[in-house]
Amino acid sequence: MIHISRSHYRNWRPIDHRYDYYTWPKTISAKCKYCEGMATFSTDEKQGFSQEAPGIYRVSKLPTSACIHGRGICTSCKKITSSINWPEDAYYSVKLASGNVWAWNHDYLRVLQAYISGQRSDVALAKENAMYLYFIARLPKHAVLKRNRGALLKKINAFLSARAA
């Protein structure tokens, strides 16, 4: 009798181009091309997880740096847009010396703040929404370096306090 061992990696597929491909959320916060205000944008592309077989899910991999088509409206000037250039048009974007860090929308910004400050663990994020865990797993290294945390948290807190006011 031949014994066939099953690994816990049997459904695992490595993620190629980890930071180049991503799954987009349903709503994206972008800069308005006319007034630099926040535009709420929804995409035409299929996002998220799709079930291939019972118990096997695949994340749709869409390019991070791309022209995203959909429909958006500015919250201040009410102009309508049909496409955005991501991540150049990201409303929640923080420029650091080593690179840019951005968040898709306000919810992802709160998750980024909690993760950088050490308030929430990966397990808590996965229980709330698996897409948050997917977002955190693909943060560039310069976003989580100790020397960049202070400046990054300061700018994130400025975004959050401006939104609350």
The pLDDT tens digits of the residues spanning 33-73 come to 999 999 999 987 666 566 777 767 666 666 677 888 899 99
Higher per-residue confidence, 7 vs 79: 79
Cα-Cα end-to-end distance for the chain? 70
100 and 129 inside one domain: yes
135 and 116 within one domain: yes
> Looking at the structure, do residues 64 and 120 belong to the same domain, yes or no?
no
Q: How far apart are CA 95 and CA 98, in angstroms?
A: 8
Q: Specify the pLDDT at position 157.
A: 93
pLDDT digits (tens, 9 = 90+) for 116-137: 988 877 777 767 777 787 788 7
- Residue 7 pLDDT more than 60? no
Indicate whether 9 pLDDT > 80: no
**77 and 106 share a domain?**
no
- Quote the pLDDT of residue 135: 83
User: If you average pLDDT over residues 137-153, what whole number do you get?
Assistant: 88
Residues 159 and 96 in one domain: yes
**Does 84 reside within a domain?**
yes
* H or E element, residue 80: strand 80-86
**Residues 100, 161 share a domain:** yes
- Give residues with Cβ within 8 angstroms of 93, minimum separation 6: 87, 100, 101, 102
Print the domain residue range for 132: 92-165
Mean pLDDT of the chain: 81
CB atoms within 10 A of CB 59: 17
In a domain, 158, yes or no: yes
On the question of pLDDT at 13 being above 60, the answer is: no
- Domain final residue, candidates 90, 107, 124: 90
Instruction: Output the CA–CA distances (angstroms, integers) from residue 18 to 11, 23, 45, 83, in the order listed.
Output: 18, 11, 19, 24
In contact, 41 and 27? CB cutoff 8 Å: yes
pLDDT confidence band for 23 (50 / 70 / 90): confident
Q: How many structural domains is the chain composed of?
A: 2
Query: Which of 68, 90, 112 marks a domain boundary?
Result: 90
66 and 123 together in one domain:
no
Provide mean pLDDT across the span 4-23: 55
